[in-house]
Chain A
Amino acid sequence: MRYLLLKKANFDDFISSLAQIEKVVAPVSRGYNSFSFAEVKSGKEITLKYIPTVLPPKKYFMPQREKLTEFNKAENSVEAILEYEKMVIFGVHTCDLAGIQCLNIVFSDKPKDINYLVRKNKLVIIGLECNDYCDQYASCKVVDNHLPNGGYDLFFTELDDSFIVHVNTGLGEEIVEKTRLFIPNDQEHLNKLEAIRARKREIFKEEVNVKHKDLVTLFNDKAFESKVWEDLDKRCVACGNCTAVCPTCYCFDILDNINLDLNTGDRTRRWDSCQTEPFAKVAGGENFRKTRGMRQRHRYFRKFRYPAERYSRYFCTGCGRCTRTCMAKISLKETVNALAAEQKYKK
């Protein structure tokens, strides 16, 4: 739609005035070079230069625990419900914008998930550009997420003493109206933005020895039998960290909870991990992914092959969280490179 400018001097006012209208969440520092999205009241609480948060903003779109139905046994009634909260999410990197797009696709695939689809439109997304690599674990270029590909209401790019802001939607315009801190930009600012993007095109290189389009073919039937998974079998401890932090992992469990009156209660879905042992076990005891290696293989194929076949999109956003968080130091880039080497792939 259009570009506007926000002076850095006004950033704190911007967040605090926004926080008066709506709940605002943004990346805050947790120490030890860790960050998480949390509620903020002022811009000072926000860390603008952050590496991907421990959990991605997925937690607002698909809460860790979400009530689906409520029941009353005595009245023999069940109601389907949605619990939601209006919120502005500030500071979403392009990798996480891509993650949200992946979730949108999954939950709008038929049959549609009404809970997700209604909730997502209660959330305002303000993106924030990474002008440089966050760290050595990221691989956003190979999956093409180092530059913005939509999925936001406003998008901030840091210039010298200001942010150039892309206003992408009506919701974004509303924020501009309500906060009254944005000013028109000059051509000079657009030139600077273009210079940043040009520099990014230079410094962001495919982080693995595989081309973007070839990732899906790398995860072929032969790769299913690869030695790589035997290696991961020995190293993985099935702590489930990689799936918890992944912006595109959406597996869940559904559990009943009864209240202490033993009459009313709810059916709740909760994040689940395909890396845990019981995940694919049927009631009779058969486990269809018995070993940690099989489960790791499943995770990788769920990022690079199955969604590519179903939705023509990789479900790896290149955020690097799974590698960053892995206790066993299993690295996504190393795994992909090992597969490429095994298949004697040439870029």
Chain B
Amino acid sequence: MKKAKLTDSEYLVKTGKILRTKQMTKLEKYFEIALPGGENLEHEPGQFVMVSVPGVGEAPISISSSPTKRGSFELVVRKAGKVTGVLHTLETSDTVGIRGPFGKGFPTQILEGNDLIFVAGGLGIVPLRSLINFVIDNRRDFGKVDILLGCKTPQDMLFGEEVDEWSKRLDVNFSCTVDRADPEWKGNVGLITSLIPGVTLDPERTFGVVVGPPIMYKFVIIELLKKNIPERQILVSLERHMKCGVGKCGHCQIQNYYCCKDGPVFTYDQIKDKKEAL
């Protein structure tokens, strides 16, 4: 058996240095990561990276920061398995392996000039934040912006301070709901779908961007369709088991799509007839 070194393998990792961490909830931990020499990740909002710990393995993680943030990028990791469990033990100045960015992100060129309604449920805010902050940083390039957030309880709200900032902005409309409130909660109580009927929008020039747990999509999409937003203007980001990130290993396949390569962002139009998609 002969052995050769490869310089152009898709499986080569870059060393990411952890600049900052924050335990956000019991299950979610935030990481700010820099590549060697401050190289920019050059991702599109909505893309993901494969994060690895040598000897443990790799996991696909959504990029949570906007590409307008230079010099470093941000991830939020939910503790759910072997790799993410070990990632939770890492702290500032530890290193991780980074491959990517991978996949098709949100089509910012197509969104330019249009009105946007963002709908994020639970962890959906993690990938969607990359687009929301991109839009806020390029605010005049987009039309009216509505942000609708939902989560189980007020304690589960990620990026609380930043979400507060969004809610105070005059150039975006913000609303938020929780399934179960606590005495301090001043916002809405109920499912995220209940926020949609109250939004006024021009369906011809509005794009709905929906990210959340699988169960949420169906119901939110019904509400957006009721508002007459065309199917091809509704964008979703899907979660699948991923191993390679480059459209080969088969784990993430949704009928003829590889979620990692053809997605994770899809238009509703693309996936509505794919039985295993939603």
Contacts and interface: CB of A to CB of B under 8 A. Distances in A.
A and B touch in the complex (CB under 8 A): yes
A78 interface: yes
A38 interface: no
B177 interface: no
Given A252-B243, A252-B250, A71 B54 contact: yes
Interface stretch (B11-19, B137-145, B149-157, B201-209): B11-19
B7 to A, nearest CB: 7
Contact of B244 (A76, A221, A252): A252
Nearest to A279: B251
B248 A107 contact: yes
A176 to B, nearest CB: 25
Interface stretch (A1-9, A305-313, A338-346): A305-313
A267 B240 CA distance: 21
Interface string B208-227: 00000010000000000000
A115 B57 contact: no
Contact of B57 (A114, A118, A256): A256
A113 B256 CA distance: 20
Contacts of B195: none
Contact of A115 (B9, B54, B214): B9
A106 B246 CA distance: 11
Given A69-B9, A282-B241, A301-B255, A253 B3 contact: no
Contacts of A252: 243-244, 248-250
A252 B242 CA distance: 10
A258 B55 contact: yes
Nearest to B244: A254
Given A79-B5, A83-B2, A253-B243, A69 B11 contact: yes
B66 interface: no
A83 B1 contact: yes
A302 B12 CA distance: 29
Please classify how large the interface on chain A is, using the bins under 10, 10 to 19, 20 to 34, 35 or more.
35 or more
A107 B15 CA distance: 26
A286 B240 CA distance: 9
Contacts of A225: 275
Given A82-B4, A255-B57, A265-B55, A283 B244 contact: no
Interface string A230-264: 00000000000000000000111111111000100
A202 interface: no
Nearest to A307: B256
A81 interface: yes
A70 B54 CA distance: 9
A68 B57 CA distance: 12
A288 B244 CA distance: 18
Grouping DSSP codes into helix (H, G, I), strand (E, B) and loop, the B interface class, with mixed when no group exceeds half, is: loop
Given A115-B6, A250-B250, A253-B249, A286 B243 contact: no
Contacts of B250: 250-252, 272, 274, 279
A279 B249 CA distance: 10
A78 B97 contact: yes
A73 B80 contact: no
Contacts of B246: 111, 113
A79 B54 CA distance: 12
Nearest to A256: B57
B247 interface: yes
A184 interface: no
Contact of B11 (A68, A85, A258, A294): A68
B56 interface: yes
A111 B10 CA distance: 8
Interface string A49-83: 00000000000000000001101010010111111
B241 A281 contact: yes
Nearest to B4: A82
A111 B246 CA distance: 6
B184 interface: no
B47 interface: no
A18 to B, nearest CB: 19
Contacts of B254: 288
B65 interface: no
Contacts of A280: 240-241, 251, 253
Contacts of A272: 243, 249-251
A125 to B, nearest CB: 19
A267 B58 contact: yes
A331 to B, nearest CB: 23
Contacts of B275: 224-225
Contacts of B214: 286
Given A252-B244, A253-B249, A279-B241, A284 B256 contact: no
Given A76-B95, A115-B9, A81 B3 contact: yes
B8 interface: yes
Given A251-B251, A256-B56, A262-B55, A283 B80 contact: yes
B193 interface: no
Interface of B: 1-13, 15, 52-59, 78, 80-81, 84, 95, 97, 214, 239-241, 243-244, 246-251, 253-256, 273, 275-276
Which 10 residue pairs across A and B have the least CB separation, nearest first? A251-B250, A80-B9, A283-B80, A258-B55, A306-B256, A71-B54, A68-B11, A80-B6, A80-B12, A283-B81
30 contacts: A73-B55, A78-B54, A78-B97, A82-B5, A83-B2, A84-B1, A84-B2, A114-B6, A114-B10, A250-B250, A251-B249, A251-B250, A252-B249, A252-B250, A253-B249, A254-B243, A256-B54, A258-B54, A262-B55, A265-B55, A267-B54, A269-B244, A274-B250, A279-B251, A283-B80, A283-B84, A283-B241, A284-B80, A284-B239, A305-B256
